[in-house]
Protein backbone atom coordinates (compact mmCIF):
# COMPACT_ATOMS: atom_id res chain seq x y z
CA UNK A 1 0.00 0.00 0.00
CA UNK A 2 1.95 3.02 -1.29
CA UNK A 3 -0.66 5.64 -0.31
CA UNK A 4 -0.43 8.78 -2.45
CA UNK A 5 2.41 9.01 -4.95
CA UNK A 6 3.42 11.90 -7.20
CA UNK A 7 5.57 12.05 -10.30
CA UNK A 8 7.89 13.70 -11.02
CA UNK A 9 9.57 14.78 -7.79
CA UNK A 10 11.40 17.69 -9.39
CA UNK A 11 11.02 19.56 -12.66
CA UNK A 12 12.47 22.68 -14.24
CA UNK A 13 10.54 24.35 -17.05
CA UNK A 14 11.08 27.35 -19.24
CA UNK A 15 8.38 30.00 -19.48
CA UNK A 16 5.73 28.92 -21.96
CA UNK A 17 6.42 25.18 -21.74
CA UNK A 18 3.73 22.74 -20.72
CA UNK A 19 3.77 19.76 -18.40
CA UNK A 20 1.56 17.34 -16.53
CA UNK A 21 1.92 16.28 -12.92
CA UNK A 22 0.58 12.85 -12.03
CA UNK A 23 -0.97 11.86 -8.74
CA UNK A 24 -1.91 8.28 -7.97
CA UNK A 25 -3.57 6.76 -4.90
CA UNK A 26 -4.16 3.12 -4.02
CA UNK A 27 -6.58 3.63 -1.12
CA UNK A 28 -9.74 3.60 -3.27
CA UNK A 29 -10.44 7.19 -2.26
CA UNK A 30 -13.25 9.11 -3.88
CA UNK A 31 -11.90 12.63 -3.41
CA UNK A 32 -8.62 14.01 -4.71
CA UNK A 33 -7.05 17.46 -4.44
CA UNK A 34 -4.19 19.52 -5.84
CA UNK A 35 -2.55 22.16 -3.65
CA UNK A 36 0.36 24.50 -4.13
CA UNK A 37 2.63 25.53 -1.27
CA UNK A 38 4.46 28.82 -1.30
CA UNK A 39 6.61 30.31 1.48
CA UNK A 40 4.52 32.08 4.11
CA UNK A 41 1.23 31.20 2.41
CA UNK A 42 0.43 27.71 3.61
CA UNK A 43 -1.31 25.33 1.21
CA UNK A 44 -3.78 26.70 -1.31
CA UNK A 45 -6.26 24.54 -3.18
CA UNK A 46 -5.94 24.62 -6.97
CA UNK A 47 -8.53 22.07 -8.15
CA UNK A 48 -10.26 19.09 -6.67
CA UNK A 49 -12.38 16.10 -7.66
CA UNK A 50 -15.20 14.37 -5.77
CA UNK A 51 -15.22 11.32 -8.01
CA UNK A 52 -14.08 9.78 -11.26
CA UNK A 53 -14.93 12.06 -14.18
CA UNK A 54 -15.54 15.13 -11.99
CA UNK A 55 -13.42 18.20 -11.33
CA UNK A 56 -13.98 21.56 -9.65
CA UNK A 57 -12.08 24.79 -9.12
CA UNK A 58 -10.42 25.63 -5.85
CA UNK A 59 -8.97 28.85 -4.53
CA UNK A 60 -6.25 29.44 -7.18
CA UNK A 61 -7.27 27.61 -10.40
CA UNK A 62 -6.02 30.06 -13.04
CA UNK A 63 -3.32 28.67 -15.34
CA UNK A 64 -4.03 25.04 -14.40
CA UNK A 65 -6.24 22.28 -15.75
CA UNK A 66 -7.03 18.87 -14.26
CA UNK A 67 -8.49 15.55 -15.29
CA UNK A 68 -9.77 12.52 -13.36
CA UNK A 69 -10.30 9.85 -16.00
CA UNK A 70 -9.58 7.03 -13.56
CA UNK A 71 -10.54 6.92 -9.90
CA UNK A 72 -6.98 6.34 -8.75
CA UNK A 73 -5.35 9.12 -10.81
CA UNK A 74 -5.61 12.90 -10.76
CA UNK A 75 -3.59 14.87 -13.30
CA UNK A 76 -2.60 18.52 -13.02
CA UNK A 77 -1.64 20.31 -16.23
CA UNK A 78 0.14 23.55 -16.90
CA UNK A 79 -0.49 24.60 -20.50
CA UNK A 80 1.89 27.57 -20.61
CA UNK A 81 4.08 27.75 -17.54
CA UNK A 82 4.84 31.11 -15.92
CA UNK A 83 7.44 32.00 -13.26
CA UNK A 84 4.56 32.66 -10.83
CA UNK A 85 3.83 28.93 -10.97
CA UNK A 86 7.16 28.10 -9.36
CA UNK A 87 6.04 26.24 -6.25
CA UNK A 88 5.81 22.92 -4.51
CA UNK A 89 2.72 21.00 -5.58
CA UNK A 90 0.99 18.50 -3.33
CA UNK A 91 -1.70 16.02 -4.15
CA UNK A 92 -4.04 14.67 -1.50
CA UNK A 93 -6.87 12.19 -1.36
CA UNK A 94 -9.65 11.32 1.05
CA UNK A 95 -12.68 9.18 1.72
CA UNK A 96 -13.21 5.55 1.10
CA UNK A 97 -16.60 3.97 1.79
CA UNK A 98 -17.02 3.44 5.51
CA UNK A 99 -14.17 5.78 6.38
CA UNK A 100 -13.83 9.41 7.35
CA UNK A 101 -14.70 11.92 4.66
CA UNK A 102 -12.53 14.55 6.27
CA UNK A 103 -9.03 13.15 6.62
CA UNK A 104 -6.78 14.03 3.70
CA UNK A 105 -3.66 12.04 2.94
CA UNK A 106 -0.88 13.88 1.16
CA UNK A 107 1.72 12.81 -1.35
CA UNK A 108 5.42 13.72 -1.07
CA UNK A 109 5.18 16.73 -3.41
CA UNK A 110 6.61 17.93 -6.71
CA UNK A 111 9.03 20.86 -6.71
CA UNK A 112 8.52 22.86 -9.90
CA UNK A 113 10.73 25.72 -11.02
CA UNK A 114 9.75 27.89 -14.00
CA UNK A 115 12.57 29.97 -15.44
Partner 1 sequence: GENVEQHPSTLSVQEGDSAVIKCTYSDSASNYFPWYKQELGKGPQLIIDIRSNVGEKKDQRIAVTLNKTAKHFSLHITETQPEDSAVYFCAASLGGNEKLTFGTGTRLTIIP
Residues that bind partner 1 (CB under 8 A): 4, 30-31, 33, 40-45, 48, 50, 58-59, 90, 92, 94-95, 101-109
Specify the residue, 17 or 27, whose C-beta has the smaller distance to partner 1: 27
**Rounded to the nearest whole angstrom, what is the least distance from the CB of residue 107 to partner 1 in the complex?**
5
Q: Which of 115, 107, 84, 95 is nearest to 5 (CA)?
A: 107
**Rounded to the nearest whole angstrom, what is the least distance from the CB of residue 39 to partner 1 in the complex?**
9
Q: Are strands 110-114 and 10-13 parallel, antiparallel or unpaired?
A: parallel
Specify the residue, 19 or 111, whose C-beta has the smaller distance to partner 1: 111
**Rounded to the nearest whole angstrom, what is the least distance from the CB of residue 22 to partner 1 in the complex?**
15
Amino acid sequence: NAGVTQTPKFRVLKTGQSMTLLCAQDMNHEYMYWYRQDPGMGLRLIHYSVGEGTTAKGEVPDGYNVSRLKKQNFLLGLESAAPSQTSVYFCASSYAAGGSTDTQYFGPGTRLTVL
